[in-house]
Chain A
Amino acid sequence: MRIGEHPVLDFDRGKKVRIYYNGQAVEAYENETIAAALHAAGIRRLGESGELHRPRGIYCAIGNCASCLMTVDEQPNTRICIVKCRDGMRVDEQRGRGVLKV
């Protein structure tokens, strides 16, 4: 859910775009991070832990921790809390450590 009226802030969200979470279309804005767009769409699960396969969600949201790593446009281990949305972006849950695309 997004904030409608805020007593202090006006939000400049920018252009509406569409990103894809595991293939599912999600409405997003170009001035928000992938993490924010997924959160607004009610998506909490971003991945899973390596050993016990426990679900992972955001924690710090500013690029300090490694809780939100996902595969973005085939690039694994992307910190989605600091990457802004772009139209057509594919954001996929990552299994394992991922292979760097060069």
Chain B
Amino acid sequence: MRETEILVIGGGPAGIRAAITAAELGAEVLLCERDGWLGGQLIKQTGKFFGREYAGQRGFEICADLLAKLHNTAKIDIWLDCPVLGIYEDGVVSCQKKDRLEKIKPQRMIIATGAAENFLAFAGNDLPGVISAGAAETLMHMSGVVPAQRALMVGAGNIGLTVSYQMIQSGVEVAAVIEAAPQIGGYLVHASKLARTGVPIKTGYTIQEAYGEGKVEGARIMRLDETWRPIPGSEEDIACDAICLAVGLNPLAELCWQAGCQMELIRELSGHVPLTDENLQTTIEGIYVAGDICGPEEATTAMAEGKLAGANAAASLGYDTEQAQAARLAALAELGELRAGPMSARIKTGLDKLREKGAAKHA
């Protein structure tokens, strides 16, 4: 059995930032990543970031800096191709390393497993060619493969808008972006960039059906009335060989469920999330969380949460130095700044609701 002070589960932006922060404070860290590479979804993001710290930098560039820092930090051991399978009552964690089952006994754990893209119910949604927007991004930016000749994007949030633009950069014709809500969900800067290429963004539309023989050959879309009901007779067929779904994410929190963390269903945080305190510690002492598992947001907030969880986990082990306090305060300030905009209103409402649940528990 492998012993370590801190086990970080997940090698995306949150987990990497948590590992670096904790190790810099003196803690011994083991980082487990299920894939054969690190960087999570940040490694494939080509868009330029906003915000003070990363302004103008592209996602994969931020990721490269983060990875360089990770590899230059002492006291971090990295296990790749190593999905964590279970967390047991005695605090033992099991994982699959190559073809072997390994056991780890950490003193603290930071779960940073991210989120998964949502699916959508409509006829023919299982046809090959119905893919998540993230899958299109992965094909294009990780492998340099064209995801489709002509694609329909479902969802005009930031992911739908940016991946549509990135598909055009990769030679895909984007037939349209449809959005069920009466207005565009993402930043207008993304929407106008896309609109300038001539792609129609149709709000108040839903997908009714994907059709094709063995694979997607087209999509039938319909207009919605003000009560979100499809308007009969408004059907429209769009020929395409891919239908990309960008309809939100949900937290990948299985390990928290398994560990027995108290979970709360918070709509604004996109699903069931672990109840946490201001240190990002769950209701199980010694288990911390960071990143999209707390409610899907941006890579920037994930990194700040990673820093916060990493600093707190290390401090709780006795590495409670001035440096730990400084890291903690810096992370909190970063989160405050990142969530100051109107686009973060939903997340802030969700976090307030979560805190209320926590207060109720302690009352």
By a beta-carbon cutoff of 8 Å, the part of chain A in contact with chain B is: 1-4, 6-9, 11, 13, 29, 31-33, 35-37, 39-40, 44-46, 49, 54-65, 81-82, 84
The answer on a CB contact under 8 Å between A36 and B146 is no
A8-B61 Cα distance, complex, nearest whole Å: 11
Q: Chain B residue with minimal CB distance to A41?
A: B145
Nearest 9 A-B pairs (CB), nearest first? A57-B128, A36-B143, A61-B135, A11-B144, A44-B128, A32-B143, A61-B138, A1-B146, A64-B116
Q: How far is the CA of A82 from the CA of B139 in the complex (A)?
A: 11
Contact B135 A58 (CB under 8 A): yes
Q: Which residue of chain B has its CB nearest to the CB of A84?
A: B36
Q: Which of A7, A45, A84 contacts B215 (CB 8 A)?
A: A45
CB < 8 Å: which of A9, A40, A59 contacts B135? A59
Once the chains are docked, how many angstroms separate the CA of A18 from the CA of B335? 47
A11 to B144, CA, bound (A): 6
Is the C-beta of B255 less than 8 angstroms from some C-beta in chain A?
Answer: no
Q: Which A residues lie within 8 Å of B252 (CB)?
A: 64
- 8 A-B pairs with CB atoms under 8 Å apart are A2-B145, A3-B140, A6-B169, A9-B60, A35-B139, A36-B139, A36-B143, A54-B126
CB distance from A22 to the nearest CB of B (A): 15
> Are A55 and B215 in contact, CB atoms less than 8 angstroms apart?
yes
Contact residues in A for B116 (Cβ distance below 8 Å): 60, 64-65
Tell me whether B204 is interfacial, beta carbon within 8 Å: no
Residues from chain A with a CB closer than 8 A to the CB of B46 are: 8-9
A57-B128, A63-B35 given as contacts; is B145 within 8 A of A1 (CB)?
Answer: yes
Given A31-B143, A60-B116, output 16 extra A-B contacts at Cβ < 8 Å: A2-B145, A2-B146, A3-B140, A9-B60, A9-B141, A32-B145, A39-B139, A39-B145, A40-B145, A40-B146, A49-B126, A55-B214, A56-B128, A61-B135, A63-B34, A82-B35
How far apart are A83's CB and chain B's nearest CB, in angstroms? Answer: 9
Q: Look across to chain B and name the residue whose beta carbon is closest to the beta carbon of A8.
A: B46
The residue that B144 contacts in the complex, of A9, A44, A62, with Cβ under 8 A, is A9
Whose C-beta in chain B lies nearest to the C-beta of A4? B171
Bound Cα distance from A13 to B141, whole angstroms: 11
Contacts of B214 in A (CB 8 A): 44-45, 55
Q: Cα distance A35–B153 when bound, in Å? A: 21
Can you name the residue of chain B whose Cβ is closest to the Cβ of A32? B143
Does B64 interact with chain A (Cβ within 8 Å)?
no
Q: Which residues in window 38-78 of B have CB below 8 A to A?
A: 41, 46, 58, 60
B136 — nearest CB in chain A belongs to which residue?
A: A61
CA distance A75 to B146 in the complex (A): 28
Min CB–CB distance B251 → chain A (angstroms)? 12
**1/0 per position for B132-165, CB-CB distance to A under 8 A?**
1011001111111111000000000000000000
Contact in complex: A6, B170 (CB < 8 Å): yes
In the assembled complex, B235 has its CB within 8 A of some CB on chain A: no
Enumerate chain B residues within 8 angstroms of A11, measured Cβ to Cβ. 143-144
Cβ contacts under 8 Å, B131 to chain A: 57-59, 61
A33 to B119, CA, bound (A): 23
Task: Verify B138–A62 contact, CB threshold 8 A.
Answer: yes
Tell me if A55 and B143 are in contact (CB < 8 A): no
Beta-carbon nearest neighbor of A49 in chain B: B126
Q: Which residues of B contact A33 (CB under 8 A)?
A: 142-143
